[in-house]
């Protein structure tokens, strides 16, 4: 038997995994876009509702019964668009605002547009608060003074 020298192997090589390809930032950008859209539309709706409802609230509050029976048909007809815009603002603002929050959280957690996701989360969170402030300010400004 002849002795054959065995090849010398070094210690097992540890190699760095290839770098992961960069993830697209579209999820965070979508979150930010939805949140900014909801913010702008919500503020516009709040201004419309406040400026339209302000004079009507004064007429209803000044009546002795406190009801809407003494209002003219034109004033009563003005309530329909207010109700439609308010309902649309609440439903679509809530659904799209929650969607923007969820997409923003996922974007931040999975590093798919983290900066955009943070902006989307912040704007979607601030939109209802600022919308209510705008509504309150415009309705207070549009109420006719006695």
Structural domain includes residue 112: yes
Measure the CA–CA gap between 87 and 92, rounded to whole angstroms.
Answer: 8
Could you tell me if residue 14 is inside a domain? no
Number of domains comprising the chain? 1
Question: pLDDT at position 3, please?
Answer: 74
Residue 75 lies in a domain: yes
Give the domain range for residue 47.
26-61+71-142
Residue 42 located in a structural domain: yes
Residue 52 lies in a domain: yes
Global pTM? 0.75
User: What per-residue string of b and e applies to 67-88 under the rule 16 or more CB within 10 Å gives b?
Assistant: eeeebeeeeeeebeeeeebbee
How high is the pLDDT of residue 61? 57
For residue 1, tell me if it sits in a domain. Answer: no
Query: pLDDT tens digits for the chain (146 residues)?
Result: 677 777 777 666 666 667 778 888 899 999 999 999 999 999 999 999 999 888 777 666 555 555 556 667 776 777 788 888 899 999 999 999 999 999 999 999 999 999 999 999 999 999 999 999 999 999 989 887 76
Q: How far apart (Å, rounded) are the C-alpha atoms in residues 46 and 63?
A: 25
Q: Are 49 and 140 in contact (CB under 8 A)?
A: no
Residue 81 lies in a domain: yes
pLDDT of residue 43: 96
Residue 21 lies in a domain: no
């Amino acid at each position: 038997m002849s002795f054959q020298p065995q090849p010398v192997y070094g210690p097992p090589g540890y190699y760095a995994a290839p770098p992961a390809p960069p993830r697209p930032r579209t999820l965070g950008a979508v979150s930010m876009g939805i949140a900014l859209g909801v913010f702008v539309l919500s503020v516009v709706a709040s201004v419309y509702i406040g400026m339209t409802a302000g004079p009507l609230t004064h007429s209803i509050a000044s009546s002795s019964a406190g009801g809407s029976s003494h209002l003219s048909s034109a004033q009563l007809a003005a309530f329909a668009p207010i109700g439609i815009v308010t309902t649309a603002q609440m439903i679509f603002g809530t659904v799209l605002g929650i969607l923007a929050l969820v997409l923003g959280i996922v974007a931040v957690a999975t590093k798919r547009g983290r900066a955009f996701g943070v902006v989307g989360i912040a704007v979607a969170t601030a939109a209802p608060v600022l919308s209510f402030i705008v509504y309150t300010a415009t309705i207070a400004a549009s109420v006719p003074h006695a």
